Amino acid sequence: WKRVVAHQTRNVPHSGHEWLMKGAWFSANGELPVEKLKTGILVNCIIGPKRMGDYIDEAIALCHHKLCEARYFRDDIHLVSIALWDMRYAGPKEAIFHAILRTNLGCTHHMFGRDHAGVGSYYDPYDAHRIFDQISEEKLSIKPVRILEWWYCPVCGEVTYSGLCAHSK
């Protein structure tokens, strides 16, 4: 792969994650010709202690492997891996650490969603996005892919976000 998009997860995948990964893949693939797929998605499942109520490690990894088996993604653009990591829920500062970690894994892009590494309402849901405005991509050697909150709109009958859909959530 010429470009690698990191998707960090401590959850089992759902249709929203599928949309997020595909959107980040298109964003990273950018000007590359589609017939020459050079961008991959590295799903990095967080394995280790997490907060009460989070999914068990086995469920997270197994469900992501099931996505592969069901061919929701092409084999040549999707790879599932694990990261042994104790989540700190340090919000923006942890997001910077995650970017450095994924750079060391060879990723060129990293997805950062709403409330990345946050806990409850301690941080603003987009603080992890804003911290990357203070650090150049060249200094980090990775491009943050900032992702807004996506949701299912029953009127549109599809997954969307407020930037695309005028219906209320």
Structurally, how many domains does the chain consist of?
Answer: 1
State which residues form the domain around 36: 3-160
Our CA angle for 36, 39, 41, nearest 5°, is 140
Task: Give domain status of residue 116, yes or no.
Answer: yes
Task: Give domain status of residue 165, yes or no.
Answer: no
Task: Give domain status of residue 140, yes or no.
Answer: yes
pLDDT digits over 137-164, tens only?
889 999 999 998 888 899 999 888 877 8
Hey, is 24 helix, strand or coil?
helix
pLDDT digits over 78-133, tens only?
999 999 988 889 999 999 999 999 999 999 999 999 899 998 899 999 999 999 99
Task: Give domain status of residue 169, yes or no.
Answer: no
> Known catalytic residues?
10-11
Task: Give domain status of residue 167, yes or no.
Answer: no
CATH number at residue 119: 3.40.50.620
Give the amino acid at 147: I
pLDDT digits over 15-60, tens only?
888 888 988 998 888 776 666 678 999 999 999 988 888 899 999 9
Q: Using CB atoms within 10 Å of the CB of residue 144, give its burial: 0 to 12 exposed, 13 to 18 middle, 19+ buried.
A: buried
Residues 6 or more apart whose CB falls under 8 angstroms from that of 63 comprise 12, 13
Q: What is the reported pTM? A: 0.89
